[in-house]
Amino acid sequence: MKRTILTIAIITILVAAPLWAQSESDFEVRQNPDNTITITGYNGSVRDIVIPETLYGLRVTVIGESAFYDKNLTSVVISNSVITIEGMAFQGNLNERNGNQLNSVTLGNRVATIGWQAFAGNQLTEIIIPDSVTSIVEGAFHNNNLRKVTFGRGLRNIGQRVFAYNLIIELSLPASLESIGQRAFADNLISKITFPASLRIIEGSAFSGNQLRSLTIPNGVTSVGERAFENNTIETLVIPASLAGWGLSSSIFNQEKLVSITLPANMNDNAVRNNFGEALQNFWISQNRAAGTYVRRGPIWTRLSTAEAVQYFREQEETRQTSIRQSGEYNIGDRGPGGGIIFYVNFTGFTVDGYGTAHYLEAAPVNMGELAWKSNNHQLTDIAGTKTDLGSGRRNTDLILAVDQNAPAAKACKDYRGGGLNDWFLPSAEELNLLFRQRALFGISNGRFWSSSQYSMGNTLGQLFDNSGYRSNIYGNNSVRAIRAF
């Protein structure tokens, strides 16, 4: 019995050892004037690392600039002794050649400063910001795969591009937050935001390129920058009294999508006109600039009573919930009805041009092949009307085949019958980008893919599916992946 127990103990030690196989000599260090340590580099081979509280008998308080840049790490645990994480400290730990990627980071509870692009360009899916952090500097978590961010209670300022180019769907901001920088949450998948009452400033393009359909800006916000909510599909909007003056910049909202706006009394005339159009401005003035909910039915604006507004919003929510129930409930990575993989979810819903509302995008499990975009007889044909945004790919595909019925890429997608369904199509440029951001689900690490978006005669947008994600016009034969919206 004793020999058996001893054997198990030895095995346990051997299995556990690699987690702690780093040694002091793996770290390059600098002794600080206060007799603490800054880690300036890493030469070890361990990829799942723990930043120790002490090295050479001194406390580790700073992780220096670029100290772990492009070191092929897979996970990092930062000890509670660390106070400062400098710029680019863990940037670029993504190696698609051998599959290693930094996908897990645990921050210590004394971290106060997170520097410029400190964790940018990795594959993090979740991060918890400790209470000790009061400000996050530009680009700190830019270009990851973040789906969930938990904020500490001390955070006051989120800088420029901090969480841009991630996969965040729902966002709950902390009660301490005062300002949100330019493009801080741009190009995510955000369909729901909970703003705190403490918020005062939302800078330009802060939430551009998301999936918001309903937005309530909290009273207390005094400034919203240009294009702060550009490239969303906001239909229902509430503007607080704190923005009645000049705090609301122009070109913030898509006027064509807005159908319901709640305005404060005596809002600035130019702000109403520049953001919501001349028709609403004229009607609003005719209502003596009264506070209330204004609803557009076709080209005509009306003002609802309080009771009518309550009923209107209740009906809108019931319609949304019915649409979700009819679509079923899926998460990213699930097998879809067509036998493919769900790579985009929007519970609020998005418009598929000419085909109604959808909540999901599903991609075929395999490529359609390496194909040309147009058949030989149509190489310079301009396909009028194709668009780049979410929800336009299916109509783009119809437009392409109406002009060139044998267009290889579009036809392969249209003819695909995964799950016995006939609603597959060639993705638009934005839909293709959403697929690119979930490429790991499909085991794709390289190749050029066609979109259905043409931006000028003979020029079609495509995207590289390597780490760059570079988007440009492409030619020749390229990879094709069919998708569907439902």
Q: With CA atoms as reference, report the closest residue to 180 among 160, 150, 194, 208.
A: 160
Q: Which of 323, 348, 324, 316 is nearest to 171 (CA)?
A: 348
pLDDT at 6: 34
Crossing angle between the packed helical segments 278-286 and 269-276, to the nearest 10 degrees: 140
Measured CA angle at 127 (ends 121, 133), to 5 deg: 100
pLDDT (0 to 100) of residue 22:
78
Tell me how crowded residue 164 is: count the other CB atoms within 10 A of its CB.
25
- pLDDT given for residue 51 in this prediction: 96
Q: Cα–Cα distance between 265 and 129 in angstroms, integer?
A: 39
End-to-end CA distance of the chain: 61
Residue 323 confidence (pLDDT): 64
Amino acid at 20: W
User: How high is the mean pLDDT in each 10-residue block of the chain (486 residues)?
Assistant: 35 36 88 97 94 96 96 95 97 66 94 95 93 95 92 96 92 97 93 94 93 90 91 87 78 73 87 86 91 90 88 80 68 90 85 91 95 80 86 96 93 96 96 89 88 83 79 81 97
Residue 394 token pair: 């299916």
Q: E strands of 315-447, at which residues?
A: 341-352, 356-363, 369-371
Q: What is the pLDDT of residue 2?
A: 36
Predicted TM-score (pTM) of the model is 0.72
* Contact criterion met (CB below 8 Å) for 158 and 129: no
Sequence length of the chain is 486
Q: Which two tokens stand for residue 475?
A: 């030619």
Which is nearest to 428 in space by CA: 449, 402, 458, 457? 449
Nearest Cα residue to 206 out of 263, 297, 138: 138
CB atoms within 10 A of CB 216: 14
Question: What distance in Å separates the CA atoms of residue 450 and residue 435, rounded to the nearest whole number?
Answer: 12
Give, for 84, the enclosing helix (H) or strand (E). Answer: strand 84-85
315 sits in which H/E element: helix 306-327
Q: What is the pLDDT of residue 416?
A: 97
Nearest Cα to Cα of residue 313 among 283, 333, 293: 293
Question: Residue 4: its pLDDT value, please?
Answer: 37
CA 37/CA 35 separation, integer angstroms: 7
Question: How far is 375 from 299, CA to CA, in rounded Å?
Answer: 42
Q: Residue written as tokens 């709640």?
A: 262
250-281 tens-digit pLDDT: 666 766 678 899 999 888 888 888 888 888 98
Residue 340 DSSP one-character state? S
Q: Is 446 helix (H, G, I), strand (E, B) or coil?
A: coil
Helix, strand, coil percent content, the chain, rounded in steps of 5 = 20, 25, 50
Give residue 103's Cα distance to chain centre: 16
pLDDT at 94: 72
Distance CA 76, CA 89 (A): 12
Indicate the DSSP class of residue 450.
Answer: E
Dihedral of the alpha carbons of 426, 430, 436, 437, in degrees to the nearest 10: -140
Provide the 10 A C-beta neighbour count for residue 358: 22
- The pLDDT of residue 107 is 97
3-class SS string, 10-44:
HHHHHHHHHHHCCCHHHEEEEECCCCCEEEEEECC
* DSSP-derived secondary structure for 369-381: EEE-SS-GGGTT-
